[in-house]
Amino acid sequence: MARRSDHTREQLREMALSQAEAVIVRDGIGALSMRKIAKAMGYTVGTLYLIFPNQDALLLAVNLRTADALHAHLLDAIATATPQQELRAAASAYIDFAQANPHRWRLVFELSTEQPDQSAQVQRRVEQLFALIESLLAARQPMLDSAALRQTAAALWAGVHGMASLHVTGKLDWAGSDQAGGMLDVLLDGLAPPVR
């Protein structure tokens, strides 16, 4: 076992988050425990509790990192897209991220905490994602007023999120197709046809 002085508090935090993400990616959220994370770090569980007061706090930190990674992934996707393709690129990137990181992605939306300030932190990250979609939609549909823009963005985001969820669970064919790309085109053309 390592001694508490072997790493700084920030290094311990980073080690814990990396180990937690590795367990979640490999085995799913049900396999995670503070004891398992501490052991993988080479520290006692007591040391881990000095960094995170409980497992929910650790999972919240994982969620914040996942939401930030998702946002960066969407920004990367639209950076190389033409203005006409940015919205589709972002939607495809969202589905791709969920498919590549199913346990982490689901945890962002499934973790329930009784701490309002913690929930608010994750909610702000989700709103950041939503604001990106809303801005891309506004560029594609400049005639929409703010209320229509918000409602259309919400419907679009819900549709893309639903496709991602079905894709992650292997049930996309339940919607009548196993091709997310084709369904995405129908959704975008129906809700946000490009202005000609």
Query: 39 and 127: one domain?
Result: no
Q: Output the pLDDT for position 127.
A: 86
Query: 37 and 92: one domain?
Result: no
Q: Output the pLDDT for position 173.
A: 66
Question: 119: domain range?
Answer: 60-191
Query: 166 and 77: one domain?
Result: yes
Q: Output the pLDDT for position 45.
A: 94
- CA 160/CA 188 separation, integer angstroms: 9
Query: 47 and 95: one domain?
Result: no
User: Across the chain, what does the average pLDDT equal?
Assistant: 86
Domains: count for the chain: 2
- CA 175/CA 108 separation, integer angstroms: 24
- In the chain, the percentage of residues whose pLDDT exceeds 70 is 87
Query: 82 and 157: one domain?
Result: yes
Calculate mean pLDDT across residues 135-150: 89
Position with higher pLDDT, 80 vs 168: 80
**152 lies in some domain:** yes
State pTM to two decimals: 0.85
Query: 41 and 64: one domain?
Result: no
Q: Output the pLDDT for position 163.
A: 87
**196 lies in some domain:** no
User: For position 169, which CATH number holds?
Assistant: 1.10.357.10
100-142 confidence digits (pLDDT tens): 999 999 888 877 666 556 567 778 888 888 889 899 988 888 8
User: For position 47, which CATH number holds?
Assistant: 1.10.10.60
Query: 68 and 28: one domain?
Result: no
Position with higher pLDDT, 187 vs 114: 187
- CA 37/CA 44 separation, integer angstroms: 9
163-166: long-range contacts, CB 8 A cutoff, minimum separation 24: 163/95, 163/187, 164/94, 164/95, 164/98, 164/99, 164/105, 165/98
